Amino acid sequence: MPFLGIRFKLSFVSFLLVTAVIAVSSVAVMGIMDRFLLGELVKRGTSLSRGAANTAAFGLLAHDRLVVDNLVAKLKERQPDVLYVAAVDHDGIITAHSDLRKNGARYEQKAPAKVISRDVDGTMVTLDSRGGRDIYEFSTPIRFAARKIGSLHLTIDGVTLVDARGDARRMVALASGLILVVAVLASYYLAGFFTTPIKKLQEGVSQLRSGKYQGALTVKLHDELGELTSNFNQMAQVIVQQQDKLEEYAHGLEESYLATVKILATSIDARDDYTLRHSTRVAALSVMLGQQLGLHTEELRDLEVAALVHDLGKIRIPDKVLKKAAPLNEEELEMVRLHTRHGAEILSHSRALQRFVPAVLYHHEWYDGQGYPEGLKGAEIPLFAKIIAIADAYDAMTTSRPYRSGLPAAIAINEITRYSGSQFEPALVDLFVRSLGQPNHAIPQLMLRLSA
């Protein structure tokens, strides 16, 4: 099936490789993006914290709470993700807080869950979790003249970082998906460069195998596949030439084979002047009946040959018996009955003729089991033997012999009909009688064909 072809497999392998590379790359990129975004958050928070600490220093020295309160309020207002800002003096008392209710209270700084960074100027960034949310706190010393006079505490909601990371992941996923689609399409397209020549080669091999080779394949590539295609064309040309020679040789053998069969049949018939061309007439009648049965060409050809050699065993019957003008005695009849076994034995020595043994051996069997040589009956008797039996009997009855004249066709037909169900198969008898009732030119045409 096409979806299991090499092109599909190459594309599928490429898909797996590209997917693995993109997955690893995406994980690496997301890790880098996470660190970058966290770094940017730290930089922004540190910058805000330092700037606010420097401004708050003047307010603390001047004991001007209004300056510090205004600073804290403006910072909270301009930075939506800032949760709170607190300025604490050197005694730990909150001098200004974005939540005015906490002014004047002692600043309680909890132990952080994780320290993110600590700068040389003393700014410390910590990570804590409150209510299931990450909180980043920036603590910067407030100094004046290298003396610490307090500290500024600024917290940023971690949801900002989470949202930024989510946006970055979606962008990475989208970019990865687009790259994957482009890579798969590109790999499928590129795979065609390799699989198309291979497919052409496969079609060429199939054509050679089926005997329908349509000529050399076009060589479009100048690489190993192109060289393989050129070698295939040369090989195919040699094979086609050899096939032509073999067909010619086989045709000659077939002609020799048929000529040999016809010579055998003619030689058998020629031993008895009264049965001259008997085998040819039996073959014509048999083929006529075979056509009525709907046998195809090859079966009719085999039936024709089997009928031509059906009396081959008579070669071993002495002339004094074969040409005897008077009726045969029991011993002579037994000698004649052996001709079926003799014929089968002669044919068995040739591999090409062995398939005709059953028809030759059993063409004197009777439908009711009273025939010879083995007393077969009904369906046990091969079809060709049944057909030849009817044709043989009809020709024997309508041919004149020294001790009797040939019977008219009508009487011979009545005799065959009378023995329907005993000597002959009824269905074949009906077809045979019906065939003889057709225009008289049917049998002479077959005889001309057989004797040509």
* pLDDT the model gives residue 421: 93
Residue type, 441: H
Does residue 58 sit in helix, strand or coil?
helix
Q: Is residue 292 part of a domain?
A: yes
pLDDT value, residue 195:
67
Secondary structure element (H or E) that encloses residue 33, with its range:
helix 6-61
Q: What is the mean pLDDT of residues 160-182?
A: 86
pLDDT tier for residue 446 given thresholds of 50, 70 and 90: very low
> Is the backbone peptide bond immediately before 373 cis, with ω within 30 degrees of 0?
yes
Q: Distance between CA atoms of 9 and 155, rounded to whole angstroms? A: 55
For residues 182 and 109, is the Cβ–Cβ distance under 8 A?
A: no
Could you tell me if 312 and 433 lie in one domain? yes
Q: Is residue 251 part of a domain?
A: no
Give the pLDDT confidence score for residue 383 in this predicted structure: 96
Mean pLDDT of 368-383: 95
151, 178, 205 - which closes a domain: 178
Tell whether 50 is covered by a domain: yes
Q: What is the CATH number of the domain that holds 278?
A: 1.10.3210.10
At 34 the pLDDT is 87
Task: Provide mean pLDDT across the span 403-418.
Answer: 88
The answer to the question of residue 367 being in a domain is yes
Q: Let me know if residue 207 belongs to a domain.
A: no
Same domain, residue pair 282 and 137: no
What's the pLDDT at 14? 77
- Same-domain check for residues 282 and 408: yes
- pLDDT score for 451: 37
Summary count for the chain: helices (H), strands (E): 14, 6
pLDDT tens-digit series, residues 355-365:
999 999 999 99
283 and 402 co-located in one domain: yes
Answer for the pair 274, 401: CB distance below 8 angstroms, yes or no: yes
By percentage, how much of the chain surpasses pLDDT 70? 78
Do 159 and 282 fall into the same domain? no
Q: Which domain holds residue 101?
A: 2-178
Residues 148 and 13 both lie in one domain: yes
Residue (of 375, 415, 370, 364) closest to 394 by Cα position: 415
Boundary of a domain, candidates 157, 178, 199: 178
Q: Any idea how long the chain is?
A: 452
d(CA 446, CA 424): 23
What DSSP line would sit under 105-127, residue for residue? Answer: SBP--PPPSEEEEE-TTS-EEEE
Q: Are residues 430 and 286 in the same domain?
A: yes
**CA distances for 98 relative to 72, 153, 362, angstroms:** 6, 11, 119
**Domain presence at residue 340:** yes
> What pLDDT, in 10s, does the model give residues 284-293?
999 999 999 9
Q: Where are the alpha helices (DSSP H) in 211-274?
A: 224-270
Using one digit for the tens of pLDDT, what is the confidence trace for 110-123?
A: 777 788 888 888 89
- Of 25-39, 115-129, 207-221, the least confident: 207-221
pTM score > 0.75 for this model? no
Domains in the chain, number: 2
Burial class (CB in 10 A: 0-12, 13-18, 19+), 116: middle
CA distance 296 to 378: 23
Q: CA–CA distance from 41 to each of 38, 78, 135, 162 (Å)?
A: 5, 16, 12, 11
Give the CATH number, domain containing residue 22: 3.30.450.20
Residue 247 lies in a domain: no
Last residue of a domain, one of 125, 153, 178: 178
How far is CA 14 from each of CA 4, 55, 261, 369, 375, rounded to the nearest angstrom?
A: 15, 60, 64, 72, 72
Structural domain contains residue 116: yes
Q: Are 10 and 194 in contact (CB under 8 A)?
A: yes
Quick count: other Cβ atoms within 10 Å of Cβ 357? 19
Question: Could you read off the pLDDT of 215-272 as tens digits, one per residue?
Answer: 666 656 556 666 666 676 777 766 677 777 777 776 666 677 667 767 766 666 666 6
| Residue range 287-341, pLDDT digits in tens | 999 999 999 999 999 999 999 989 888 888 888 887 777 788 889 899 999 999 9
Nearest partner of 114 among 141, 92, 134, judged by Cα: 134
Same domain, 303 and 159: no
Own/partner contacts of 194-197, CB < 8 Å, gap of 24 or more, are 194/6, 194/10, 194/225, 195/5, 195/6, 195/7, 195/10, 197/221, 197/225, 197/226, 197/228, 197/229
